[in-house]
Amino acid sequence: MSIGLLSSSANITGATQPEKLKSACKAIEGLFAGQLLSEIGQGIDGKSNATSGQYQDFIQQALAQQVTAGGGFGLASMLEKSLTPAAHSPLNALHQLHASTTLNNHR
């Protein structure tokens, strides 16, 4: 999973904004899974273990794709939920209440 996939997920032709958000969140989770698998692949001593050589990156990318395809870690859904405008409506309501209260107190 590369950073290119993340940037291309935001430019999906014909996709709605929620579809683009979902795709970007899955790409972020894929990057996280890839990095995690890369660190695991380094082993305790910092050297590659069983998967060494030129195919190590391909193996890690394939593993990351499989992890995220099966529902992943849940990171993508949490990101998507937190970045959806509806998730911020209670916070926006609180800000509006605070602003109106502050305005009324200064009159």
> CA-CA distance, 23 to 47, in Å (whole number)?
33
Q: Where are the domains of the chain?
A: 3-105
Count other C-beta atoms under 10 Å from residue 8's C-beta: 13
The answer to whether residues 87 and 81 touch, using CB atoms and an 8 Å cutoff, is: yes
**Residue 92, pLDDT score:** 67
Task: State the pLDDT confidence band at 1, using cuts at 50, 70 and 90.
Answer: very low
Task: State the pLDDT confidence band at 97, using cuts at 50, 70 and 90.
Answer: confident
Q: Can you tell me the mean pLDDT for 13-18?
A: 81
